[in-house]
A and B are shown apart, each in its own frame.
Chain A
Amino acid sequence: MSAQGYLLLTLAFYAVGVLHVLFHATTRRRLLSSWTVTATLAGFAFHTAGLSQRWTEAGHFPSVGLHDGVSLLAWTIVLAFLATYIRTRLEALGLAVYPVAFGLMLIANLTAPSEAVDPILKSLFLPIHTTLAFCGYAALFVAFAMGLAYLVQERELKSRSPHTFYYLIPSLEACDTISGRSVMVGFGFLTLAIVTGLLWSHSARGRYWTGDAKEWSAVAAWIIYVALILARRRTGWGGRRAALLGIAGFAVVVFTFTWVALFPGVADAAR
């Protein structure tokens, strides 16, 4: 099967999750839950096959351009979701993950792969740097989603009249803890990604810092996360402020990602 075929299958399986979310949100019944994780797992398997196929077809690590970027991002986000699910059995994270994974795969299916041919893409830094960066994005996405969940649940509890989300979202403590751990993981990846990015830039262009927007935004995100981690340290409870910082940090991450995806790789700056 071609890489495109795999992606279409992946999209179909991730759609199960989206249907589940819609069903869940409208009826508050959990009929599909065990099937949904299984379907997502199946989608993830096809996705993995599709990515390896695409790697062969493209001749370089498939992370360049919008098509490959969103596809790989969806893959790492689902990976992060599954890893969190295995550790915590938390289904509610699917509320955010299923629609996002589906949306990203939809974009991947609608866009053509980048045919960029550049010697820089042959560099070993490409798979290393992007894998680290994408794993960071995914973990920070989980942190973002749980931070958002924290704020929503806090609002539900403050309102004193619970609605749908009160029942769907786990406890404040769970949101806070999972968000905090994901930030730690994501921050680790992000740091390594920035370091390898600088090294890559140096080996390709002889300069560590090019002053590109993506470099600035990556560093800005890094600083936000440092602030967040420091804020959490004293009490082990992030609370509202940590949730807000996690959301802000992720917004910067999204900007970084979009910038890189729309203006492929360091090739742009090197031109």
Chain B
Amino acid sequence: MVVGVSHRTAPLALRERLAIGRDHLPAMLQRLRAEAGLAEAMLLSTCNRVEVYGRGDDGVDAQALDWFTAVAGGPARDEVVASVYRLIGAAAIRHAFRVAASLESMVIGEPQILGQVKEAYQVAEEAGTLGSTLNALRNRSLAAAKRARSETGIGKNAVSVSYVAVELARKIFGELKDKNVLLVGAGKMSELAARHLVRSGARATVLGGRTIGKAEDLAAALGGRAAAFETLREEMAVADIVISGTAAAGTVIRRDDVLSARNAKRGRHKRPLFLIDIAVPRDIEPTVRQMEGVFLYDLDDLKSVAEANLRLRMREAAAAEALVDAEVGEFLEWQKSLDVVPLLVELRRRGEEIRRAEIEKARARLGALTPEQEQALEAATTAIVNKMLHGPTVQLKELARDGHPPELIGLIRRLLGL
């Protein structure tokens, strides 16, 4: 079963309250198992979902639900009740597969969820709350998620503005190693994009505004250097990528600045120059776009690329859905083969059948019996069958709980002649 809330059902404020820190997870898992009566349990807590995965006897989902709302508890209780969902059986398994494959994510195909799910299982394993069923679910759902990523395009093409900027830079420069990134203005978003670029091997230079201090801090964080804004033209002459995100009201980088940078070194004008303007209002004069080898993207451009990429992902999502559905189907089939209930029913039916037949035979030999004798015969034979079947029944139930190899059921059937 699965009980939880996600970005689809609960607002961020509530999810924040429910989120469980990595350090608290083992203790929570223990409590969860003890207080909600779960045989196995796993907790997945990310910024977009907080979910309990578990296995137990019938009705355990209701207990888990109560526990979940109680723990979230306090004043938020009513809110939790309104946004929590509860899935059991096949629906829960399907959900687990879809979450791991990032089909349930806010941004379809985002790569973090797979690692988060992996870690959640890991924590549960260390806490000792992972049994055979959840372990099987872990293996199969993670394998399915990896297949979905590698065989369909759900994870391809960036859908966030800063990643789009990096991807565009790659489409222009190929390798970003040793490319010079110039940051004009030390905003949050420029920093994010610059971080991605630096991680790919680019070198950063940060231009400071009135106060150079902020630029120096950012430069240190990026492992680059800081320079005064007055050196804009010189710095631009050696830059490959310029990210501008100042809070200035007017134009910061003019056509003349770009032109002088392009002509500063012989042949420099042939190399591409990637200008990213993420300021509102814009920092870079839009007409530089017409210059040869200059690629200017403003915030809207980056957003529209992200949207186009997202549409592509959506198309790929259908293929991923089909793939995951097929994997879920296989998993359910496999689970069914583990089910011992039909075997037990059959065993009992067979015992009853033999008992009836033997009573008929005995009657034919004994002739008329008094009601007392009749009753004694019934009681004795019933007791024999029950006692004979008691051992196997208990053992089979135990086997089912431990998750036995499916061949075993076939073997037992053959041994019992069923």
How near does chain B come to A16, taking the closest CB pair, in angstroms? 20
Q: Do B293 and A239 touch (CB < 8 A)?
A: yes
A interface residue numbers (CB < 8 A to B): 28-29, 153, 157-158, 160-162, 166-167, 170-174, 177, 234-235, 237-241
B34-86 CB contacts (< 8 Å) to partner A: none
Instruction: Across the interface, name the chain A residue whose C-beta is closest to B294.
Output: A158
Chain B residues at the A interface, C-beta cutoff of 8 Å: 153, 157, 168, 170-175, 266-268, 270-272, 289, 292-293, 295, 297, 301, 304-305, 308, 312, 319
A170's partner among B168, B174, B304 (CB-CB below 8 A) is B174
With A157-B295, A160-B301 as given contacts, are A29 and B171 in contact (CB-CB < 8 Å)? no
The CB with the most chain A CB atoms within 10 A, among B157, B267, B304, B312, is that of B267
Whether A161 contacts B172 by the Cβ 8 Å rule is: no
State how many angstroms separate the Cβ of A246 from the closest Cβ of chain B.
14
Return the contact of B171 from the options A28, A153, A177, A240 (Cβ within 8 A): A153
Q: Across the interface, do A167 and B157 meet the contact criterion of CB distance under 8 Å? A: yes
Contacts of B292 in A (CB 8 A): 239-240
* Residues B270 and A235 in contact, CB atoms below 8 Å apart: yes
Contacts of A162 in B (CB 8 A): 305, 308
Distance in Å: Cβ of A108 to nearest Cβ of chain B: 36
On whether the beta carbons of A171 and B170 are closer than 8 Å, the reply is: yes
Q: A157-B295, A158-B295, A160-B305 are contacts. A171–B153 as well, Cβ < 8 Å?
A: no
- Bound complex: CA of A168 vs CA of B254, how far in Å? 34
Residue of B nearest to A235 (CB): B267
Contacting residues, chain B, for A173 (C-beta < 8 A) = 172-175
Residues of B within 8 A of A167 (CB): 157, 312
In whole angstroms, how far apart are the Cα atoms of A159 and B47 in the complex?
A: 36
Q: How far is the CA of A172 from the CA of B175 in the complex (A)?
A: 11
Write the chain B residue with the least CB distance to A163.
B308
Nearest CB of chain B from residue A238's CB, rounded to whole Å: 7
Residues in B whose Cβ lies below 8 Å from that of A172: 171-174, 272
With the chains together, A174 CA to B172 CA distance in Å? Answer: 9
Residues of B within 8 A of A237 (CB): 267, 270-272
Known: A162-B308, A237-B270. 13 other contacts (CB 8 A): A28-B153, A29-B153, A29-B319, A157-B168, A157-B295, A171-B171, A173-B174, A173-B175, A177-B174, A234-B267, A239-B270, A239-B272, A239-B292
Chain A residue with minimal CB distance to B289?
Answer: A158
Query: CA–CA, A45 to B330, complex, Å?
Result: 42
| Closest Cβ neighbor of B168 among chain A residues | A157
Which residues of chain B come closer than 8 Å to A153, judged between CB atoms? 171
Query: What is the distance, in angstroms, from A180's C-beta to the closest C-beta of chain B?
Result: 12
A177 to chain B: which residues have CB within 8 Å? Answer: 174
